[in-house]
Structure 1
Amino acid sequence: MSLFFAVGSPETELSPEQIRAGLFSALDKLGARKTVLAVPPDFTRMHSKSGELTELIWEYYGNALVDVLPALGTHKPMSDKEIVTMFGATPRDLFRVHDWRNDIVTLGEVPGEFMHEISEGKLDYSWPAQVNKLLRDGGHDLILSIGQVVPHEVVGMANGSKNIFVGTGGVMGIHRSHFLGAVYGMERMMGRADTPVRKVLNYASEHFGKELPQIVYVQTVVNKNAAGKLVMRGLYIGDDRECFERAAELSLKCNFLMMDREIKKAVVFLDPHEFRSTWLGNKSVYRTRMALADGAELIVLAPGVHEFGEDAAIDVLIRKYGYCGTPETLEAVKHDAALASNLSAAAHLIHGSSEGRFTIRYCPGHLTREEIESVHFEYGDLAEYTAKYDPAKLTDGWNVVDGEEIFYISNPGLGLWAYEGRFKD
């Protein structure tokens, strides 16, 4: 178990040459490989720098890179245009599609007793350690798991083994891990590397990982510099837990803004190329909720949003129940078999609710007022609100618009915002 490369600080801005040299030095230490599988994120994590890293991995291994399996989780397959945009010259014929409902093998089960303990008695089901069958049965001698470590609403800090057991995971594993995070409490987990969901993933890695080829994690930390340009602050490559933990430590310094006062009005912009559903777009809710004051208004400018769930069955459930809050969602799980068998949808409904504490005003490009209001959001006309809160004129952070102070976020996926009085160890 080793850390093959590690560099990073809140001030670091790795150049393309430094990234290439660091990655190649780590791969040199692994020795020659014949059949390599790369598992990067999909287009919804375009800003992770994983596309460039995957292209460099192809440059290094050439024909020995035989498969690229984007960690879709529940997301839709990537289009050819998205693949070219994100992965550059990486050959299109290397890409495989993860089907979370059908292409799954179960490596083992985390016992219910363990789940009961880490959930503080809230849950007692077992958790299946599921991965895409290509990982176990593809005949590879190396798996490179690539991705950005950043605060996350389900697991606390994204990446590490989450990329494997959720990104290439199956129905039951994804549903039950999401629900565990929701019932434990999203606000108790975001920005923390050690959480109940992370404990489950670590258990799976330690007990069932031997069924898989060697997995080496290529972890990035990314944020914007003073000029507003996305830069890589850290790159950590290794096959043990230290790789993730080092990246998580840096991510908290780069991607977590602890605020000394609450936000009364926040405006969040969702890039239409990245955010096309509330399933993804609700990062605007998750990542800001700990910074929002009671009675605050969250305005979500969502020009690309045209659906609720990316999965058809989940979209139906979101439309049926809406973001109605924890008590109503948990009650619905007891009585609706469809929701009970899609627990990640139930978790999403909990995550996306303000629990009556603040107003969420969605301004979608392709959903009607009736659709937005039916899921318990307030509706805003996109043209009207974009004219007033123009993303081209606002800067990340505090702004004054027509004499009113607002807090603007250009991409909620890049960080976590919290008022110090709401974030307690």
Structure 2
Amino acid sequence: MQEIALTNERIDEKTLEQELHKWLGSFTKPLRKVLLLPPDVTRFHSKAGLIVQLLYKALQGEAKVEIMPALGTHIPMSGQERALMFGTEIPDECFLVHDWRNDVVKIGEVPSDFVAKVSGGLVSYPIGVEVNRRLMDPSYDLIVSIGQVVPHEVVGMANYSKNIFVGCGGQDMINKSHFLGAAYGMEKMMGRDNTPVRKVFDYAEEHFLGTIPLQYILTV
């Protein structure tokens, strides 16, 4: 698999489609089952919807493609919202719904001493790391987290592993990471990349996600 960075000021659909095909072609293992994790309609302008459509088009016929919007605590997308964001060519049965209360498994814990260190002693509780159970399903050959990097009041800059641990996460990480951000102070985090909450997400990814076939597609 190769890493591809498109840095043109404006990336047209044809170029994006070509680069996604190139990226998919760089995998040495056949892709038979793929899970896509885009944001919901609240990130409509991220181009994640178009990316999902292009990936589905490229993979259909060769792989079973499932799409689970990273809802976090948001309500499930309606059929109208799905059509608006992801088009009408993807069958309804391809879409899954993340349930942050009942559909997660605990894969680890960020220790309290680490949380205390990164927060400057403001918060000192352990944080359970929970993700949707599908992320730990070994039948997936590829899991793709798709989203947009934008300033965010809780983590500093949204997306990357936030899409996993909050968008596809459970209540302990969601609740405690948000409180950590509030305790540290929104005015010290907004638009910054190396915040206490981001460090918690980085710890969780480094320690607990190394065995799954996770890749990221990020827009700015």
* 2:120 aligned residue: 120
SS in 2 for 1:116: helix
In 1, Cα distance between equivalents of 2:12 and 2:93: 29
Q: Partner of 2:99: helix, strand, or coil?
A: coil
Name the larger-Rg structure.
1
1:58 and 2:65 matched: no
Q: How far apart in 1 are the matches of 2:64 and 2:145?
A: 13
**2:129/2:172 contact within 8 Å kept:** no
The letter of the residue matching 1:133 is R
Q: 1:13 aligns with which of 1, 10, 15?
A: 10
Tell me by how many angstroms 1:21 deviates: 1.0
DSSP-derived class of the 1:147 partner: strand
Contact 1:58 1:65 in 2 (8 A): no
How far 1:138 sits from its partner (Å)? 6.0
Structure 1 residue runs of 4 or more that deviate by more than 4 Å after TM superposition: none
Please state whether the residue corresponding to 1:90 is helix, strand or coil. Answer: coil
- Is it true that 1:48 corresponds to 2:43 in the alignment? no
Hey, what does 1:39 align to over in structure 2?
A: 37
Q: Distance in 2 between matches of 1:175 and 1:3?
A: 35
Structure-1-length-normalised TM-score: 0.50
Secondary structure at the counterpart of residue 187 of structure 1: helix
Q: CA deviation at 1:175?
A: 0.2
Contact kept in structure 1, 2:56 and 2:65, CA below 8 Å: no
Question: Distance between the aligned counterparts of 2:64 and 2:10, measured in 1?
Answer: 28
Matching of residues 296-335 of structure 1 within 5 Å: none
Equivalent residue of 1:30, what SS? coil
TM-aligned CA deviation for residue 60 of structure 1? 1.0
RMSD, matched Cα: 1.3
Distance of 1:23 and 1:87 partners within structure 2: 16
- Matched with 1:168 is 168
Q: Distance in 1 between matches of 2:67 and 2:214?
A: 14
* CA deviation map 1:148-175 (0-9, x unaligned): 1111111111111110111000011100
3-state secondary structure, aligned to 1:8:
coil
Q: Which residue of 2 aligns with 1:73?
A: 72
Distance (Å, rounded) in 2 between the aligned partners of 1:148 and 1:210: 22
Q: Tell me the residue number matched to 1:207.
A: 207
- How many residue pairs get aligned? The number is 217
Aligned: 1:198 with 2:198:
yes
SS in 1 for 2:130: strand
The whole-number CA distance in structure 2 between the counterparts of 1:50 and 1:30 is 21
Aligned to 2:24: 27
Residue number in structure 2 paired with 1:147 = 147
Once residues 87 and 94 of structure 1 are traced to their aligned partners in structure 2, the CA distance between those partners, rounded to angstroms, is 11
Report the CA distance between 1:23 and its aligned residue.
1.4
* SS of equivalent to 2:65: strand
Identical amino acids, percent of aligned pairs: 50
**Residues 115-157 of structure 1, C-alpha deviations (whole Å, 9 max, x = no match):** 0001110111111111101111262111010001111111111
TM-score for the superposition, normalised by structure 2: 0.95
8 A contact 1:131–1:165 mirrored in 2: yes
Instruction: Judge conservation of contact 1:54–1:90 (CA < 8 Å) in 2.
Output: no
The structure whose residues are more often strand, as a share, is 1
1:298-337 Cα offsets, whole Å, 9 max, x none, are xxxxxxxxxxxxxxxxxxxxxxxxxxxxxxxxxxxxxxxx
